[in-house]
Chains A and B, each alone.
Chain A
Amino acid sequence: MTFGEIFRFEISYQFRHVSTWLLFAFFFLFGFIILRLVTLTDGTYLNAPGTITFFTVFGSAIWVVIGGVIVGDTATRDVQTRMHPLTYTAPVSKFGYLGARFLAALALNSLLLLTLYAGFLGSLYGPGAKTQFVSPFRPDTYLANFAFLALPTSMATTAIQFMVAALSGRAIASYIASISIILFSQFGGTTVRFALEWKTLGGLMDLLGTSIIAEMEGWTPIEKNTRLVLLEGPWLWNRLTWLGIAVSALVYTYFRFQMSHQASSSRRSLFRSRQAAVSSAAQPTHTRIEYTSLINVPDVPRYFSRQTQLHQVLAIAGQSFWSIAKSWTGLTLVAVLALGTGLLATEYMEWLGVPLLARTQEVLNVLTPPLSSYKTHWIIIPLLIIFYAGELIWREREAGLHELSDTTPTPEWVLFIGKFGGLTLIITIWVAFLMLAGIINQLVMGYYQFELDVYVKALFGIQLTNYLLFALLIFVLHVLVNQKYIGHVVAFGAYGFLLFASMLGVEYKLLIYGSDPGWSYSDMSGFDPYSKPWLWFKLYWVSWAVLLAILAILFWVRSKEGGPTARFQRAKHRYSRHKMALFVALAFVVGTGGLLFYNTNVLNVYLTKSDRMALRADYERRYGRYEHAARPVLTHTKLQVEIYPEEQAADIRGTFSLINRSNKAIDSIHLSTIPFNPLEAISFNRPASSVVADDKLGYHIYSLKKPLAPGDSVQMRFVVHIKPTGFSNEGIDASIVANGSHITSDWMPVIGYQANRQIRSVQDRLAYGLPPRAERPSLYDVAARNENQHAELMGFDALVGTSKSQIAVAPGALQRTWTKGDRRYFQYATNAPILNEYAFFSAKYAVQERQWVHRLTGYQYAFQGPERVVKPVIIQIFYHPSHAGNVARMMKSAQASLAYYTQEFGAYPYTHFRVLERPGHGRGMHAEPMTIDYQEGYSLMNPQPGGLDLPYHIMAHEVAHQWWGLYLAPAAVEGAGLLVESLATYSAMQVVEETLGREHLLRYLSQMRQEYKVPRSRAAPPLLRSNNSFLNYRKGPFALYALRNYIGKKRVNDALRQLLRTYTPAHPLPTTLDFYRELQAVTPDSLHYLLHDLFATNTFWDLKTEQATAKQTKTGAWQVTLTVDARKMRVDSMGRETNVPMNDWIEIGVFAPAKNGQKTGLPIYLQKKRIRFGKQRITVMVPDKLIQVGPIQAGIDPNHLLIDYEMNDNMKALTFER
């Protein structure tokens, strides 16, 4: 046989397998469907190089996982079929044999990946293509992606699979190799790259190209549309590395592979057992043949009772368990991962540089990913389940003793349950490892209150159930498919469905095996309110699992007869015995399924994502015409709220006082309500009749018999009932729980049409047939500045009742509180008007209270007029008793913030300031008038002395919102975020500097600049038209901080104060243009260019020091010469860059060597200098005595005031010239 003949034979042989055809069909369909399903939002094309790169990586990830079957077969078929004595002795060289087989496998695998592109092309140019998202055809898009991404991936993977399979002689080894590659390259690479921050190594480990995908996050739409991934830079090294690995694997295979007979028993099998090879047993030489007849086997009675069968189940379970437990990967893989997860806790138990308190609630986040999550390293558990399910089902058949075991008098169910029992034991141990990981994590983090009951419930109650349900499904699939590799492919298909069900458009939980509406554990509310729907859903899935198990038992193959007819025949025979169980299971499936359906579709409305969008579109189509209809203004809200935490219910009776402030009579009152949540008992204190009552879209119109004259007022009463009826597809609304209820004003009706319910995204508007409309009104949309409903102020009082043991809180001063029966009541009233944004809280709170009195120093501006006096403020923090860690610093921060803001910006309008905790994992806070709420995640931040005190910051930020956002409510146009979030962050920075010191502020800034390192596109609007959180929370504050360093803190504060002084909640509302004007007023003309660069355009600087030398002059002073390269450019929203000339003032600095524990040393020299565009030399004089021993850093913009994503090249170590 020649090389070519082996190759040709191998290819044609592979095409005789159905599985090969299935794989080709799969990749074609995948390529076809994925490009039909996806919607790209940022203006990139479906056939853009970036898009194709993304799906090339995605597709090859899938290929790595399921494509191992080809190599498995080519590399091991001869040994598996025991034909190797023939092939090995044929006159063919080892090189020819291995080489041709490998090349055949590589050719097939590469062809498979090419099929992906065929699918892409079919999707892009086939019938029904979305041509508006397709740009002109470019062959290099596909060629580059295939040649530089897919093909090298295919080579390396095939080589590694081939090595492992050929050397072990087991086809399944190629599958293990695939999984190992994914684990090493994806999870390992990502961990190394992000968690340990070894970027280069992590980049090299990445086989598939996920590092490029991550990088692409920072590409502009133009780049995504045009840029090809080429062999250059790190990617070249990556491909060379993997090519090197591939070649090494092949060379190793060549030298290790032996074309000779290998006794299967003496080969050390890598994947089977860790025991050393067994030595050949010696023949007993003393045997005398006649002996045999003398021995009588006792005739012991046998029993075929249930008890025996139970015994058999246990015996099979035990044997299955040990067969996995003794294998290399059985327990060790999960154990090592658990150990690593525990020991490396400090690496990930942090948030923005702040260590976390390792309460069980926090640790469980890491340990309990849902089965449908692939962004977790615990994905290893489902993958191992798939693998070991296959091994167990095929164990006897692969060992060749199935004919012995199949003829034993054990019923099929004993075999099935026994094997499943073995896997169950293994999974239970894995879950125990998870628990161990959690406890080690807590020990490492120095936390010692182990809540074992919570661990047991979450891990052994919830996670184990999920894993077992999954394992059972995989078992059943393997039994039904009855072909090991196709079984694996089908199992992966099923797993893929669970992972990507929502992406595939399947949202209905009754159709996604094993799913539930989600759960979460909180110290405050426990598993409330998730346990009930969870249990019902699991009962449903367990019924399914039992039903499936019975099916598997019916179709269990224990003979030569694998054909469908014979199996149906057998199933028919077995049916009578399992009829009862089958029907009971079926009854349970139907019963629980019916009950779930009743809950999700009858008691509640089932809406898909697109249903919801359609509702919003309908709302706009039907009622959008009332957007500008005259409406009365809400001047007072009076509420009577009865909260019943144990019943998860509340009754709210409300009275709105409405006044006509327009100059026309109003003849009807429009209300927007929550869709499908009918209001009750709406009444007016004057004759009115309902004209439109649309509960589905949530819109009501009441016609007033006598129109409301200008200046006239009307009272509206209504009742809101909150009580979950059963549960929906999403579970139960968590507003009201046994402990930690949080009812927001979103439950209340709102006056008029609400434009913020409209669909925003341009694509979605197109898809739902709505006329185009900008996502946000333009900054220059003058009409939009007159929309001031969100800025209107109202009076507020509320009577809140809750159960006796809880405290209920609402805005306003507490007027009185009393107990009646087992209910406790609280009466609140505000002493200054608030925005229509509030919430009710009820929980078993611990309370800390302080009074804050303003000391009259500095400026005394009362921003609502000079007559206002600064009143003492009662600060109250309501927290969960076991979450007391941050309460003291919250209190300090609140006091310092109130003091600073009152002094700089004006008086705080209310007598109360409240901070309340509520259940949830979020780490941020949320501000409402005089009230701030935060989720438990905030309490679990555990700042260390000397580290960043982020909770202090966040608190200061939220207090600042009482001025920025809640007092000053900007127009809802582009840039509003700058006036709310950027100003709050900037204000908080001042508080931190005043109270915690400048050093702490710098630490904060450096942590915030970490965001630069996340790949980030420079394409963005200017700050004045800011529209995303990076601009609002990072770039805006950085720009203000830079400005402050150029013009001084006082001038910036002057501008801010001026903005507040001129504010009124009447229209037109302020925009960033007003703010810009105030800034211009305080900025000297010479720096107006900077203001323009920072705020009015999207400007970037590229500042780099190339050389830094020092020379002593005759006078003894040092002359420091810097060669710097400075550039400035504007980038538009699509990513087009334009260089702009510059003559900018930029800091030049020389810094002393850093002392221990410091990042940079003290400045020896720091001055702003005029810097022009391009390369230039700058010379500064430094007095003699300041030059010290050690590395001295010198360079341009050392404090990173200007926006420059590349921060590492600003400074350079000084070299001395003699």
Chain B
Amino acid sequence: MELQIRNVSKTYTKGRGGEVQALKNVTLTIPNGMYGLLGPNGAGKSTLMRILATLQEPDEGSVHLGNIDVVNQPEQVRQTLGYLPQEFGVYPKARAEELLDHFAILKGFSQRKSRREVVGALLQKVNLWDVRHQKLGGYSGGMRQRFGVAVALLGNPKLLIVDEPTAGLDPAERVRFLNLLSELGENSVVILSTHIVEDVSELCTRMAIINKGEILHEAEPLEAMNALHGRIWQKVIAKNELAQLEREHTIISTKLLGGRTVVHVYSEETPAMFDPVQPDLEDVYFSVMADHMMAGRVADSQGGQQNDQQANEA
């Protein structure tokens, strides 16, 4: 099954007549497997996620999961949808097992016996079996997140949408959580939206970078890293040298390391006094972002023209 997102746009009206375009003409094709949607805060990731999860409707464009029209047939999508929202609450007085059982009923597990099996297995899978009788109000953030995964996984969804799942998790919980996700995605479309590059590099076979409602780059992480091979350079400088360097080079990122500044620049030739580095996904991300901001949106404007043509034809 394949998720096809075609020319999806979404605009929010803010107070006093202002408008914010959250998604501009987004077109993506997402195959089975783990797909990463990477972008800074406010890039439009969550809006896209919610559109896929039938919670919002795009102003324009269409979304299809296989043969299902996600926008107009939300009921069918929901039968095979798993959604882990960015933020969610629980009934603090409810016990994990009982609330998961309730969700199982809502998700169509009507046979009591088999439902119990599923609920039990899921609780074990997300490692909440031992605390299944405890009240959800007492759960830590990570446990609560895993409970959310259990809800999302009910019914082996063909479309699994995970919105910023690792935000706010401690490193151990994050590893635990990513492990859980890594198992999925062989037979389903799993979309993971995040602003943490490691999440994507560790899990995803394909990814897209989104900013200000536009898809800036769509690639496989490995390929993208390879494509940058030999073009990312690094230099450790003092803080006051940064302004000077900015004028001479395309800086894609700066990082602090032990009080000094580590600068990554993009250059097709070897810049003086720089060391070559093996590009990682972060470099991909930052070079795309930097490219978008400074170089004048080359890749995107092409995409834009294409879309305009399509619009004209239509």
Contact = CB atoms under 8 A, between A and B. Distances in A.
Interface in B91-126: 91-93, 102-103, 105-111, 114-115, 117-118, 121-122, 124-126
Contacts of A296: 121
Nearest to B124: A295
A608 interface: no
A559 B56 CA distance: 6
Interface in A256-287: 264-266, 272-273, 275, 278-284, 287
A278 B93 contact: yes
A315 B105 contact: yes
A401 B78 contact: no
A303 B109 CA distance: 7
Interface stretch (A169-177, A403-411, A709-717): A403-411
A560 B56 contact: yes
Contact of B138 (A281, A403, A408, A569): A281
A407 B78 contact: yes
A859 interface: no
Contacts of B72: 573
A289 B125 contact: no
Interface in A140-181: none
Given A280-B138, A283-B140, A275 B153 contact: no
Nearest to B74: A573
A408 B107 contact: yes
A406 B103 CA distance: 11
Interface string B127-144: 100110011011110010
B53 A300 contact: no
Listed residue (A281, A290, A298, A573) with the most chain B CB atoms within 10 angstroms of its CB:
A281
B50 A265 contact: no
A310 to B, nearest CB: 9
Contacts of A272: 93
B103 A297 contact: no
Contacts of A685: none
A304 B80 CA distance: 11
B176 interface: yes
A1114 B250 CA distance: 129
Interface in A541-581: 558-561, 566, 569-570, 573
A399 B91 contact: yes
B121 A297 contact: yes
A519 B151 CA distance: 51
Contact of B90 (A301, A311, A401, A407): A401
A566 B59 CA distance: 10
B155 to A, nearest CB: 6
Listed residue (A284, A291, A295, A405) with the most chain B CB atoms within 10 angstroms of its CB:
A295
B75 interface: yes
Given A278-B138, A560-B50, A298 B89 contact: no
Contacts of B222: none
Contacts of A283: 140, 143
A404 B93 contact: no
Given A281-B139, A297-B153, A408-B103, A287 B127 contact: yes
B221 interface: no
Interface residues of A, number: 59
A407 to B, nearest CB: 4
B125 A302 contact: no
Contacts of A281: 131, 134-135, 138-140, 143
Interface in A1005-1053: none
Interface in B66-91: 72, 74-75, 78-79, 81, 83, 85, 87-91
A275 B107 contact: no
Contacts of B29: none
A129 B140 CA distance: 65
A573 B74 CA distance: 10
A759 to B, nearest CB: 58
B90 A408 contact: no
B103 A292 contact: no
A299 to B, nearest CB: 6
A561 B57 contact: yes
Given A295-B121, A404-B85, A560-B50, A308 B108 contact: yes
Interface in A303-328: 303-305, 307-308, 311-312, 315-316, 319, 323, 326
A966 to B, nearest CB: 72
A17 to B, nearest CB: 13
A400 to B, nearest CB: 3
Nearest to B90: A401
B260 to A, nearest CB: 33
B123 to A, nearest CB: 9
A278 B135 contact: yes
B115 A300 contact: yes
Nearest to A310: B110
Contact of A284 (B55, B78, B125, B130): B130
A264 B102 contact: no
Contacts of B54: 407, 559
B183 interface: yes
Nearest to B87: A400
Contacts of A405: 103, 106
B148 interface: yes
A97 B272 CA distance: 59
10 contacts: A278-B137, A279-B138, A281-B138, A290-B179, A315-B106, A316-B106, A400-B90, A405-B106, A559-B56, A560-B50
Given A302-B79, A407-B54, 8 more contacts: A266-B137, A300-B118, A301-B114, A302-B107, A403-B83, A408-B103, A409-B81, A409-B107
